[in-house]
A and B are shown apart, each in its own frame.
Chain A
Amino acid sequence: MLKNENIDKKVTAYIESLFSGVGASQQLFDLKEELATNLKEKTNDIKSRGLDEDQAFKEAVISMGDLSGLVNDMRKLGQDIAKQNVYSTMTSRISTAGIVAGVLLILFGILTVTMLYFMDLEAPAVTGSGIFIVAGGAIFTYSLLTRETTKKYGMNKIRAVFYALAVGLILFSIFVSVTSFFATGEMFIAIGSLMVFILAGIGLFLILVLTGTDRHKN
C-alpha cells in the first residue's frame, strides 16, 4: 500500500512536469487524469513482473512513446481558451461601460433640454443640448450590439460602428431639423435639413439590416 502511494506520487509528478506551463483547459485536466490512471496501472503491471519500483516506473514512461504531440495539442487549446476569456471579458467590459455611458448621455441630454425649456430661454438654445442625446444614442447602439449574451454572439465591431453611425445620423437629422426649425421658424428649412441626414442614416440602416448574419448561438 505504501509502495503504491510512492508510484502515485511519481506518476503525478511526472504528468505535472510533462504538461508544465501548458494553459489550463477542461481537456488538459481530463487528459492528465486519464494518463495518470493508466500509467499507474502499467507501472504496477511491470512491477509485478519482478522489477523494482523505480525501474518499473522508468520502463512504463519510456514505453509510452513520444508524448510531445499531445502536449502541443494541449498547449494550443490552453492558449485559445486563455485568449477567448481575455477577449470576451474585455469586450463585455467595454460594452457594459458603453451602455452605461450611452444611457447617461441620453438622460443628460433629455434633462438638460427640459431644464433649459423651463428656464424660458430662447428656443434654439434649448434644443442645442439635444446633441447629447444623439451621441448617447450612437454609443448605446454600438455597445448593445457588441455585447455577448447567453443567446447571441456579439456583433462584429466594424458592423456595430456602422449601425451606431446609422442611428447617430437619424438622431442627428431630427436634432438638426428641430434646431433649424426653432432658429428660423420655417418648416421647409426644417424638412430640408432633416432630409440630408435621415436619408443617409436610413439607407445605411437598411443595408445593414438586409445583409445581417445570424448571431444566435446553437
Chain B
Amino acid sequence: MSGRISTDLIRGHTNTIVLNILRQGDSYGYEIYKKIIALSDRKYELKEATLYTAFRRLEQDELIVSYWGDETQGGRRKYYRITDKGKEVYEQNVIDWIFARAILDKLIQGGFGDAKE
C-alpha cells in the first residue's frame, strides 16, 4: 500500500519547503521544482503553479527577494534568495513542525492502552 500527501496537508508547508531549498543557496523556479522532487526521493512533486504562487507571496512578505540572472538559451532566469527575515521564519516553522508532528503522531496513532503498558 503506497501513501500519498494530500493537498490540504502540503498547503500549509509550501512556504517552509521553498525556504528550506533557498536557505541552501539561491535558485530559480524550475530548479527549485526539481530539487523538491529530488529531496522527496522522487515520491512527491510540488506543482510549479503552486510554487509560483508561493514565490509571489513570500516576496510580498519579504521572506525572499528576487533578481534576474544572466541570459541563457531560453531567456533570463529569475533567481530567488532567502532574506534574514525568511531564515528566522524558517527556523520558527521547523520548531513548530517538530512540535506539531509529535502531537499529531499521538493524536492519530496513540491509544489510551499504550500509555498503561
Q: Which residues of A contact B (CB under 8 A)?
A: 4, 8, 11, 30-31, 33-42, 44, 63-67, 69-70, 73
Name the one of B28, B48, B75, B78 contacting A64, with C-beta atoms under 8 angstroms: B48
Taking A65-B50, A69-B53, A70-B53 as contacts, is the C-beta distance between A30 and B78 under 8 angstroms?
A: yes
A36 to B47, Cβ gap below 8 A?
A: no
Q: Would A34 and B74 count as touching, CB distance under 8 A?
A: no
Is B49 positioned at the interface, with any CB of A under 8 Å from its CB? yes
**Cβ B73 vs Cβ A4 within 8 A:** yes
Once bound together, how far apart are the Cα atoms of A70 and B30, in whole Å? Answer: 16
Contact with B75, one of A40, A42, A66 (Cβ below 8 angstroms): A40
Q: Which of B53, B74, B78 contacts A41 (CB 8 A)?
A: B74
A41 nearest in chain B by CB position: B30
- Please state if A37 and B48 are interface contacts (CB–CB under 8 Å): no
The residues in B between 10 and 35 inclusive whose CB is less than 8 angstroms from any CB of A are 28-30, 33
| A37 contacts B77, C-beta separation under 8 Å | yes
Closest approach, in angstroms, between the C-beta of A69 and any C-beta of chain B? 6
Bound-state Cα–Cα, A36 to B75, Å: 8
19 additional A-B pairs beyond A34-B29, A40-B73, A73-B56, beta carbons within 8 Å, are A11-B74, A33-B75, A33-B78, A36-B74, A37-B30, A37-B72, A37-B75, A38-B28, A38-B33, A38-B48, A41-B74, A42-B30, A63-B47, A65-B48, A66-B49, A67-B52, A69-B49, A70-B49, A70-B53
Contacts of B52 in A (CB 8 A): 31, 34-35, 67, 70
Interface residue from B29, B49, B77 paired with A65 (Cβ < 8 Å): B49
Contact status B76-A37, CB under 8 Å: yes
17 contacts between A and B (CB under 8 A): A11-B74, A34-B78, A36-B74, A36-B75, A37-B28, A37-B77, A37-B78, A38-B28, A38-B48, A42-B30, A64-B48, A64-B49, A65-B47, A66-B49, A67-B49, A67-B52, A69-B53
B residues near A (Cβ < 8 Å) are 28-30, 33, 45, 47-50, 52-53, 56, 72-78
Q: Which residues of B contact A64 (CB under 8 A)?
A: 47-49
Chain A min CB distance to B90 (Å): 23
**Which chain A residues border B45 with CB–CB below 8 Å?**
63
B30 neighbours in A (Cβ, 8 Å): 37-39, 41-42
Chain A neighbourhood of B29, CB < 8 A? 34-35, 38
B49 CB to closest chain A CB (Å) equals 3
The CA-CA distance from A138 to B50 in the complex, in Å, is 55
What is the chain B residue whose CB lies nearest that of A66? B49
- Is the Cβ of A37 less than 8 Å from the Cβ of B49? no
Q: Which residue of A lies closest to B48 (CB)?
A: A64
Chain A residue with minimal CB distance to B57? A73
Report the Cα distance A73→B52, complex, angstroms: 11
Q: How far is the CA of A64 from the CA of B45 in the complex (A)?
A: 10
Q: Which residues of B contact A66 (CB under 8 A)?
A: 47, 49
Chain A residues with CB under 8 Å of B75's CB are 33, 36-37, 40
State A44–B75 Cα separation when bound (angstroms): 13
Q: Is the CB of B74 within 8 A of A8?
A: yes
Residue from B29, B30, B45, B53 with most neighbouring chain A CB atoms (10 Å): B30
Point out the residues of chain B lying under 8 angstroms from A40, CB to CB.
73-75
